[in-house]
Amino acid sequence: MNVDTMDERSPGRCAQRHRSGPTLHTVRIAHVAAAAMLAGVLIAARPVAGQDAASKDLPEGPGRTVLLSACTACHDLKEVTKFRGFYTKDEWRDIVVTMVKYGAIVKDEDVPVLVDYLFKNFGKKDAPPPSSP
């Protein structure tokens, strides 16, 4: 079958066109998609401005590392520290459990460690004793 004599709507012509490789349009879409993914990775991987300095102000303790790895993957530290003295231990637990449901990466055994750290350092001090888990 001669490709030059085929009608534009002929299935042979369409098949011939697709066998010859990707079109310029397809290549452009692939480049734009790759650039968008790269930009997303670079933005997500960059440290938040001032976060290194703010992390130095966090008290030492077993939950500090969990907070820095899990919470700051999505939030600036100010999102945690601005609630200093606001939440009870039960409320911090509810927040941590909710964030895990939303995708925060916290091992099951680290949840109570993080909750204890958050309550000890940022919890409501005049709160009644927390309920048992």
Per run of 10 residues, the mean pLDDT along the chain (length 133 residues) is 54 52 70 62 47 70 93 90 94 96 95 96 78 64
Domain span at residue 21 reads 3-45
What confidence score (pLDDT) does residue 83 get? 92
Is the residue at 83 inside a domain? yes
* Half-sphere exposure for 66 (CA within 13 Å, toward CB): 20
Is the residue at 128 inside a domain? no
What confidence score (pLDDT) does residue 29 get? 78
CB 51 within 8 A of CB 76: yes
What confidence score (pLDDT) does residue 49 get? 43
Both 60 and 37 in one domain: the answer is no
Both 37 and 83 in one domain: the answer is no
pTM score above 0.75: no
What confidence score (pLDDT) does residue 101 get? 96
CB 123 within 8 A of CB 88: yes
Q: Count of domains in the chain?
A: 2
Is the residue at 130 inside a domain? no
Alpha-carbon distance 7 to 46, whole Å? Answer: 54
What confidence score (pLDDT) does residue 109 get? 96
| Contacts for 93 with CB less than 8 Å, ≥ 6 apart | 111, 115, 130, 133
Is the residue at 67 inside a domain? yes
* Half-sphere exposure for 95 (CA within 13 Å, toward CB): 19
**Strand, helix or coil at 107?**
coil
What confidence score (pLDDT) does residue 23 get? 74
What confidence score (pLDDT) does residue 35 get? 61
